[in-house]
Structure 1
Amino acid sequence: MSTSTTVEPTPPSSLIPSLPDDVALNIIARVPRCYHPILSLVSKSMRSLISSPLLYTTRSLLNSSQHFLYISLRLPTSPVLRFYTLYQNPTKPKSLKNILVPLPLIPSTSLAGSSFASLGHKIYVLGGSIADIPSSHVWSLDCRTHTWEPAPNMHVSREFAAAGVVDGKIYVIGGCVVDNWARSKNWAEVYDPKTGKWNAVPSPVEIRYKWMHASAVIDGKVYAMADRHGLCYEVKSGSWGTVDTDLDNGWRGRACVIDGVLFCYDYLGKIRGYDVKEGIWKELKGLEEELPRFLCGATMANLGGKLIVVWESKNGGSKEMEIWCAEIEVKKDEGGELWGRTEWSDVVLTVPTRSSIVHCLAVTL
């Protein structure tokens, strides 16, 4: 007579021995994310938790979420956009504390003129052109696991469009030639991640310009800076308008908004802020010694209320160039003047010459 033995399945290991998993989850959720790679080596259960939505939901409920910077670069040695995240490790020496870490390649050929938006734990890459042909494709990067996946396509192919997030939805404006009914109707679109659908945003015919060179969201309005002049769309009322002449004339490059003030650089390469309520530009003072005198070409982001400035530094005839990053605390004094204090400034990556910064933005995890 033959006998068979039944192999009992191995029960999943607990996250922390001798502790209930719900208690362990509350402990692990408080651990800074820079230590997650080490925690993932502890056990299979821990590795599974580190990449699960449950951990990030718990971190949010416990107010333990952190802000992370993501940067896209165009390298002469790569046919696709390269994405990096700023890795800040307080345990490392100064020379290694702030570095850009490469992420998996986006599964798309070279995209030029894409727009970018950060919504929840995802970064969306919207449109762009492939071999000079505009695309309607959208890719999303899950910043919890650093994995790429396709998102629903826009109704219209776009390049150099404006993009902004208001009330959990992504708005894209322009970036297309209005030469048929479909492009005219969908010149502006909105994406709702809850339904996974794009819908047209009604817009007057006379404002439908082709290219947008910059965009930002201020007080529920999406600002889209066109080649001729700027536009703004107020989401709550669904109304369109033009921007103040001073804002239009002074906005240069890729800006960011902190506490209702839009920061960018001026024609002399210095950082200035535009207070929409006051309607005037003001120089960001206090940075004369920490930053280069001429910052033209810099890219900026709001990282948890701090101003992040990223710029390229070319070293003469060298075959390499440096990507610099600075984190700046900004505040307004009693007289309404803007002041900045540089918390740190570092070389975060060395790349081949002829590389360029495409975009940077922040994600909360």
Structure 2
Amino acid sequence: MGSVMSLSCSKRKATSQDEEPSNSSRKRRKLSSSNDEEDYNCRLIPNLPDELSIQILARLPRISYSSVRLVSRRWRSAVSTSEVYALRKELGITEEWLYVLTKGQDDKLLWYSLDPVSTRWQRLPPMPVIVYEEESRRSSWNLKVGEIVRSLLGRRDASEQMPFCGCAIGSVDGCLYVLGGLSKSKTVSCVWRFDPIINSWSEVSSMLANRAYSKTGVLDEKLYVVGGVDRGRGGLSPLQTAEVYDPTTDVWSEVPSMPFTKAQVLPNAFLADLLKPIATGMTCYNGRLCVPQSLYSWPFFVDVGGEVYDPETELWGEMPSGMGEGWPARQAGTKLSVVVDGELYAFDPSSSMENGKIKVYDQKEDAWKVVIGEVPVYDMTDSESPYLLAGFHGKLHFITRDHNRNVTVLRADVPDVSGSSSSSSSSSKCVLGSGSLKEKGDAVNKSDTVIWKVIASKDLGAAELVSCQVIDI
């Protein structure tokens, strides 16, 4: 530890010793004193070896690293390298943060991170500006004229609007990934990565195929991408292809294409041409990729089960009927689910959009069962994702807006799943705890009570929720 931090100082010290005259003890003593002072000034913390200083920095809360970076260049360098974070992992003091993607004005995507311990939010650096190929071919004269006109009219360049519509979101190896999407009505394959350690975005290897609205999941520290759509002659066409990304090698590899088993049994060619099969979700459960599917002809969606991929056999198999047919769906037919402590949960919105339920999948009975009978939902807008699910600190979390329109993160103390799954009709009542959105005065049995506690809240204006990820570093 500390070898990286002391490298520059060691080099300077070695150089000075090589140049030391051997015929003067007086000069030797003077030079030795100078070297000691130089080594002292190069240390992260005066009077302490860098190895010990790194041990101290690693034990600081992650939220304090933004202040640590302001102390000095060496401190900024220390918390911007993997050495501190590797030590945090070795000591077992990593922290799970929630990262929320929002869509604001001009469809710009903005990321926010939440430290659930300090309940402090931080805004991530903006995602990169994409320069289109046709723009790069314009002459420098046209560029200069365009800049002058835009500055006079107060208009922004179209290239400043980030074309990440329909992108997929994933996280692996402590980094966020934004994959593909639509750019000027064309699907793209580019992939951007955000590294929280250095707090910046960078482009990595592109996917093997152009795709938008694809689904992602992580198995064995590798990022899988399945399905989505690509633009063909007749518009957007659903994809069955899949691929996997290894962050250690920055290489994409092909995965066997995902079948649409149920889509092949439609009664006639007309329905087969009208209803297109599409992957409407993906969750990593029991070491496999579970991909629910639907048949759609906008705006109509029909659930048709799904497929399960086993990375050990590299084979797809039909999803258990109860799992696929009963998988709750939110707006636009998409499935909102998360695995917490080995249990698969999904959000089932009510028809009025004023409430909802949390269901858990019972693998033994191949059935979805209500585990939380009431979820506080206040977002009545037509946004793409008015609510999100996340799992961290071993708890189920629900992200939505409160009655003041603030984005709010709620934590649910879920009752014992084994006890609640004894009857498919059983459900638990909801009580909002301290710092809650709205107090409920109903008297309920404590054994059937789910406490929704507000973890954090933030005013993000009119920005819509898009997606969320949890990173543990």
TM range (shorter): 0.7 to 0.9
Q: Which residue is 2:345 aligned to?
A: 263
Work out the CA distance in 2 between the residues paired with 1:184 and 1:255. 22
- The DSSP-based 3-state class of the residue aligned with 1:227 is strand
Instruction: Kindly indicate whether residue 167 of structure 2 is the aligned counterpart of residue 57 of structure 1.
Output: no
Instruction: Kindly indicate whether residue 47 of structure 2 is the aligned counterpart of residue 26 of structure 1.
Output: no
Alignment of 1:224-243 (within 5 A): 224-228=291-295, 229=304, 230-243=306-319
**Are residues 247 and 206 of structure 1, via their aligned partners in 2, closer, same or farther at CA, if it must alter by over 3 Å?**
closer
Shift of 1:88: 4.5
Shift of 1:178: 10
Alignment of 1:199-238 (within 5 A): 199-203=253-257, 206=260, 211-228=278-295, 229=304, 230-238=306-314
Instruction: Kindly indicate whether residue 214 of structure 2 is the aligned counterpart of residue 161 of structure 1.
Output: yes
Instruction: Kindly indicate whether residue 221 of structure 2 is the aligned counterpart of residue 145 of structure 1.
Output: no
Q: Which residue is 1:363 aligned to?
A: 471
Work out the CA distance in 2 between the residues paired with 1:67 and 1:46. 23
Q: Which amino acid aligns with 2:376?
A: L
Two-structure CA RMSD over aligned residues (Å): 3.2
Compare relative contact order (CA 8 Å, sep 6+) and give the higher one, 1 or 2.
1
Shift of 1:27: 2.1
Q: Which amino acid aligns with 1:291?
A: P
Q: Which amino acid aligns with 1:219?
A: N
Work out the CA distance in 2 between the residues paired with 1:334 and 1:309. 22
Q: Which residue is 2:101 aligned to?
A: 72
Contact 2:379 2:402 in 1 (8 A): no
Alignment of 1:297-316 (within 5 A): 297-313=386-402
Shift of 1:227: 1.9
Work out the CA distance in 2 between the residues paired with 1:42 and 1:78. 37
Contact 1:175 1:210 in 2 (8 A): no
Alignment of 1:272-283 (within 5 A): 272-283=359-370
Contact 2:164 2:183 in 1 (8 A): yes
Q: Which is helix-richer, 1 or 2?
A: 2
Q: Which residue is 2:328 aligned to?
A: 251
Q: Which is strand-richer, 1 or 2?
A: 1
Alignment of 1:9-158 (within 5 A): 11=39, 13-75=42-104, 77-88=105-116, 90=118, 98-107=119-128, 108=130, 109-158=162-211
**Are residues 192 and 346 of structure 1, via their aligned partners in 2, closer, same or farther at CA, if it must alter by over 3 Å?**
closer
Q: Which amino acid aligns with 2:109?
A: L
- The DSSP-based 3-state class of the residue aligned with 1:362 is strand
Structure 1 gap ranges (5+): 1-6, 91-97, 316-320
Work out the CA distance in 1 between the residues paired with 2:212 and 2:258. 20
Larger radius of gyration: 2
Q: Which amino acid aligns with 2:410?
A: A
Cα displacement string for residues 205-234 of structure 1 (whole angstroms, at most 9, x for unaligned residues): 655976322211001111222223322111
Q: Which residue is 2:243 aligned to?
A: 189
Given the alignment, which residue of 454, 457, 462 partners 1:344?
454
Contact 2:408 2:454 in 1 (8 A): no
Contact 1:211 1:226 in 2 (8 A): yes
Q: Out of 231-240 and 295-304, give the one that drifted further.
A: 295-304
| TM-score, structure 1 as length reference | 0.82
Work out the CA distance in 2 between the residues paired with 1:102 and 1:73. 11
Q: Which residue is 1:325 aligned to?
A: 409
Structure 2 gap ranges (5+): 1-33, 131-161, 264-275, 296-303, 330-334, 351-355, 422-427, 429-448
Shift of 1:333: 5.4
Contact 1:124 1:138 in 2 (8 A): yes
Q: Which amino acid aligns with 1:13?
A: C
Work out the CA distance in 2 between the residues paired with 1:100 and 1:128. 27
Q: Which amino acid aligns with 2:357?
A: K
Given the alignment, which residue of 291, 313, 317 partners 2:376?
291
Contact 2:379 2:386 in 1 (8 A): no
Contact 1:135 1:159 in 2 (8 A): yes
Q: Out of 135-144 and 297-306, give the one that drifted further.
A: 297-306
| TM-score, structure 2 as length reference | 0.65
Contact 2:99 2:111 in 1 (8 A): yes
Q: Which amino acid aligns with 1:189?
A: E
- The DSSP-based 3-state class of the residue aligned with 2:454 is strand
Q: Which residue is 1:93 aligned to?
A: none
Identity across aligned pairs (percent)?
Answer: 26
Shift of 1:120: 1.2
Q: Which amino acid aligns with 2:193?
A: S
**Are residues 166 and 33 of structure 1, via their aligned partners in 2, closer, same or farther at CA, if it must alter by over 3 Å?**
same
